[in-house]
Amino acid sequence: MSGLSELLTKFSQTHGTSGYEDNVRALVVREFKKLVDEIEITPLGSVIGIRRARPSPKSSRRAETSRLLVEAHMDEIGLLVTGIEDGFVRFDEIGHFDPRVLPSQNVLVHGRKTLPGVIGSRPPHVLSAADRKKSLALRELFIDVGMSDARVRELVRVGDFITIDRNVIALQNDFVAGKAFDDRSSLVALLEFLRLVQRVNHAWDVYAVANVNEEDSATYVGALTSTFRIRPHMAICLDVTHAQQPGLHDDAAPTTGAGPCIARGANVHPRVFEKLRAAAARATLPHQITVYGGDTETNAWLMQVAGEGVPTGLVEIPLRYMHTSVETIHLADVTHTAELLGALLQTLTADDAKDLQGERFVRAESKRARAKPKRVVRTPARGKKLKRK
């Protein structure tokens, strides 16, 4: 598992919040180049890696190859510079931190230069009895980069982004802890899945997508627009979910190390859920089931309604301490997520797409209705296109 752990470390320690994904995007493109046939970047900055179908020689030819979209978001939660006071940096959040976990964190301020900083707070000695009981609000926190006011103003501007500076720690028994495992652990599972299917025949094209802008405001604009562009026949969203931990003893919550969670509920197409579960069962992969009445608070929520609507599934990696700098997962859950996706891809036949595209009923005597519907012509995709050499 060392290759996987290395890759996760690399992705976790790359810095890029929602709206500022440049560094992560560069890394994704570099990794995709080894694994896919074509790479596209959408107008908003999401990366699409296309691995064309490798049908087995026996299979019949089809006019249009079906498209399977598998995505993870590449942005992380972070902070945004709102002002500079006497050389100390004030900030707002991008996505949602619990402000109580921020004091004493190491951070990187991504200004004209990348500056290491620390989030300071008043020492306990000078606090009143009442203040000692209170936690600090976001607006009371500040970053110390150890520079004069004038020098900070030269290098840092309002609107620059800030990330937590934290290296990945290997715990015992293949547990690892670090920042941005939401959702870079899924991104690593996506890459691992692409690696697994390199020498395998599959009837569907695979569109692997690293999306921007998931963590800010829950509008999922990156996933919505990249899914619109691809018009997939089936889409799988990869994200993380809350696992059991002290203080969270929900019977329904999944356990770390017990396999990826296949989600079920209004956000998930029932046939996609069945296909995922059948694939897991056939490959005898450990898996768990999570249930959502409505909004899953993932990209899946808007991927489902992109364009004419997309049959969407959701696979989640169980994770402890979400949105902190010590998000903790079990590496086997990442591997099993990749294997589950591999198993799913291999079960997909050309007929499966028809099964998922809805139905059309025509009254027998209606001549006009019997006429064939016009074929929808796909507009050529825009944006950058990098062909594999």
How far apart are CB 220 and other proteins at their closest, in Å? 8
Cβ distance to other proteins smaller for residue 213 or 256:
213
Active site residues: 214
R_g over Cα of the chain: 23
Binding site for other proteins (CB under 8 A): 18-20, 42-46, 80-83, 90, 92-96, 137-139, 157-159, 182-183, 213-222, 224-226, 228-229, 239-241, 297-298, 322-323, 381-383
How far apart are CB 372 and other proteins at their closest, in Å? 26
How far apart are CB 373 and other proteins at their closest, in Å? 22
DSSP 100: G
- Beta carbons of 340 and 287 less than 8 angstroms apart: yes
Per-position DSSP letters for 295-338, written without gaps between them: --SSTHHHHTTSTT---EEEEEEEEBSTTSTTEEEEHHHHHHHH
Cβ distance to other proteins smaller for residue 326 or 350:
326
Q: What are phi and psi of 202, to 5 degrees?
A: -145, 145
Cβ distance to other proteins smaller for residue 240 or 338:
240
Q: What are phi and psi of 26, to 5 degrees?
A: -60, -40
How far apart are CB 246 and other proteins at their closest, in Å? 20
309 Cβ contact list (under 8 Å, min separation 6): none
How far apart are CB 388 and other proteins at their closest, in Å? 22
How far apart are CB 320 and other proteins at their closest, in Å? 13
Cβ distance to other proteins smaller for residue 175 or 228:
228
Q: How many C-beta neighbours within 10 Å does residue 65 have?
A: 15
Please give the Cα distance from 232 to 309 (Å, whole number).
9
Cβ distance to other proteins smaller for residue 36 or 302:
302
DSSP 261: E
Please give the Cα distance from 28 to 24 (Å, whole number).
6
Please give the Cα distance from 135 to 295 (Å, whole number).
30
- Beta carbons of 296 and 266 less than 8 angstroms apart: no
- Beta carbons of 69 and 236 less than 8 angstroms apart: yes
CA angle 191, 331, 36 (to 5 degrees): 5
Cβ distance to other proteins smaller for residue 54 or 323:
323
